[in-house]
Structure 1
Amino acid sequence: MALALERFLGYPSPLRRLMGHPANGLYMLNGVFTALVPDEQAAAFRRLIMGTAFCLLSISVTLALAVVATTTLRTFPYAWFWEGLLAVPFLAQYALRVRARAVADALDTDLAVAQNALTHLVNHDLSQLDKSQTTRGCLEAVAENTATSVVAPAFWLALFGLPGIIAISALSGVQRRLGGDHKARMFAKLLDTAVNYLPARLTGLLFAGAASMTSPSGGARALEIIWQDARKSGNLISGWPECAVAGALDIRLGGPRQYGDSWVERNWVGDGTEHLTKHDLQAGMKLLAQTLTLFTLLVGIAAAFA
């Protein structure tokens, strides 16, 4: 129910203006423990220990409160309905599609506008990217965010109910608090990789399955590229989804590029077309829609027999 509602309604703007987003509330909650957030000038070991303590304490308290609230909620009639409704803001299918569509709409008319739209999905300076690289960056963001912002939250919601999806959101807030301090974020980053590891692989298979619904060869290519290139992508989370999208669309993702003043070296995944256009992005958005539909149907079938 949560997936179906969020797919078409998202988190309505009037409700957001009235109540704010629950993720911001969780961010404020873990702000209680900001005394544990280490100064970037502190010794590396101290930053590691303090960052780990902040992560564990913030998520433990958030999880405990979520368990208490959910246990109380489940004493009321139709608790499953309210629990599903409360889970809706922690999913991001609607926002992902809207933001990717904004990039596609501006791609051929105003590259700067397309790049600005993409900044909602990619936290980099995109001003140095050309049209093909902007398209590639958007498809990569769609692949990774499908795993981390849709499949992973739904996966933990299915296993542990509302506390599972709230804990995932709290972990994102912890990483925001710790900022770019790699030592302080080390434990949180490892935990993030652990909770997204299985959902990322499931996402790759979902992309392959969705591609096979319209093109059996596309689904087979997606699986082939996962097998061939996922390990060399260098990312345990985005590797499978990106490889699946690259194979399904017969394109290449990854590759070196410049973000602002920084040059980033990435391995290529896929062996299809390197120069991407708006047509490739539109095909990727169609694949995303098919994948989200397939995922919702599979979750619904599993829930029916649970």
Structure 2
Amino acid sequence: MGPLFTVLVLALVLDAVCGDFPWLFGRVPHPVVWVGNLIAWFEKRLNKPRYGGRDRFLRGSLTTLAVIACAVSFGGVIQLISSFGGIFRLADILLLAILIAQKGLYQHVKGVSVALRRDGLAGGRAAVSMIVGRDPQSLDQAGVSRAAIESCAENFSDGVVAPLFWYVLGGPIGLCAYKAINTLDSMIGHRNERYLYFGKFAARLDDVVNFVPARIAGGVICLAAGIGRKTSGADAWKTMLRDASKHKSPNAGWQEAAFAGALDLSLAGPRQYGAELVEDPYIGDGRRDADASDIDRALKLYTTSCILNAAWPVVLKMTWVGLV
């Protein structure tokens, strides 16, 4: 437990201090950028409109496996370095701090709240367009605020809980494999004409690797809501269990429903993506007229959730070791 606990604590502290390491990755590409460039290289050469659906699926699957293999190889090098122990564990700490998005997510969501207060709706739309894919011009103040809160909820799992989960189970190899899968899904896992077949394997694989972390994230949020002020843990649990399945994603609904219940809001609902209107149901039965103050409440809930999230990996690792 000792080395794992030390790595987790130091990595989370380093992330809290440095965030996205702008002083470093303003000069050199971020590892996720490397992965993204590799995906784009494969996609440009293998995803041609002239290919049929089956062919594009096989080519997309090959792309997915090749990118994961490269990420696993890099993780294996870090794992080998860290296996020497002592100061060499700094490689683990730095990798985890870089690939977790705890402070970065907070800053991006907080930016929406600040922009709404300082620059009004136009500023809020500009800020939220940096973290969501929907058409910002279709959003009023409540829509901007709900979009920021939904992003905070969903990315708590993808950017914070899941990286820790896969690091605990698989070390740097598991962490790098997860980030590769998550990046693949974000780039080619879309249900549009270009990626429906090419990215299908990556999208389904992302659903699989996020299945357990998403539910852990939902539970952590509910616990945090019970601890926090002006949030309801009981309502978070009730709404999560009732409404999680309403989300089109098999995983994202757990976090969004927990946030909705905790904050007494209604999230999701109809959304505009370019020319496409997605008629999703609302999650939660609270207010729809969210504003900047609700974003700030969501960030307090997120901060408490992050603190609690630092504890469960040690318990999981101890249980895992006991089982095997």
Fold equivalence (TM over 0.5): yes
Gaps of 5+ in 2: 1-9
SS of residue matched to 1:56: helix
Residue in 1 aligned with 2:11? Answer: 2
Alignment map for 1:142-157 (pairs within 5 Å): 142-157=152-167
- 2:221/2:301 contact within 8 Å kept: yes
8 Å CA contact 1:245–1:284 kept in 2: the answer is: yes
- Report the 3-state secondary structure (helix = DSSP H, G, I; strand = E; otherwise coil) of the residue aligned with 2:272: strand
State the distance in 2 between where 1:221 and 1:21 align: 39
CA deviation map 1:149-203 (0-9, x unaligned)? 1111111011111111111222234346647511110000000000111111111
Alpha carbon RMSD of aligned pairs, Å?
A: 2.3
Of 279, 289, 304, 1:275 maps to 289
Give secondary structure in 1 for the equivalent of 2:138. Answer: coil
Distance 1:51 1:57 in 2: 10
SS of 1:258 mapped into structure 2: strand
Equivalenced residue count is 306
**Hey, what does 1:54 align to over in structure 2?**
63
Question: Which residue among 169, 172, 176 is the counterpart of 1:162?
Answer: 172
Deviations 1:115-137 (A, max 9, x none): 22112221232111111011111
Structure 1: gaps of 5 or more residues: none
Q: 1:92 is matched with which residue? A: 101
Change (3 A) 1:271 1:294: same
Post-superposition offset of 1:255: 1.1
Measured at CA, do residues 251 and 178 of structure 1 come closer, stay the same or move farther in structure 2, by a change above 3 Å? Answer: closer
Measured in 1, the distance between the counterparts of 2:167 and 2:268 equals 31
Q: Which moved more, 1:109-118 or 1:287-296?
A: 109-118
Distance 1:159 1:221, change over 3 A: same
Distance 1:177 1:297 in 2: 31
How far apart in 2 are the matches of 1:30 and 1:289? 33
Contact 2:102 2:160 in 1 (8 A): yes
What is the rounded CA distance, in whole Å, between the counterparts of 1:302 and 1:218 in structure 2? 26
What are the superposed Cα offsets for residues 222-271 of structure 1, whole Å, 9 maximum, x if unpaired? 00001111112232121000000000001111111333422111111111
Structure 1 residues 13-92: aligned runs within 5 Å: 13-30=22-39, 33-34=42-43, 37-75=46-84, 77-92=86-101
3-state SS of 2:137 partner: coil
- How big is the shift at 1:18? 3.1
Which residue pairs with 1:111 in the alignment?
121
Alignment match, 1:139: 149
Q: Deviations over 1:82-132 (max 9, x none)?
A: 211222111111110001111001114322221221122212321111110
TM-score, with length taken from structure 1: 0.91
User: Does the alignment pair 1:258 with 2:272?
Assistant: yes
C-alpha spacing 1:81/1:29, structure 2 compared with 1 (3 Å): same
Q: 1:176 & 1:80 partners in 2: Cα distance?
A: 30
Q: Percent identity over the alignment?
A: 29
Q: TM-score, normalised by structure 2?
A: 0.87
The alignment status of 1:238 with 2:238, answered yes or no, reads no
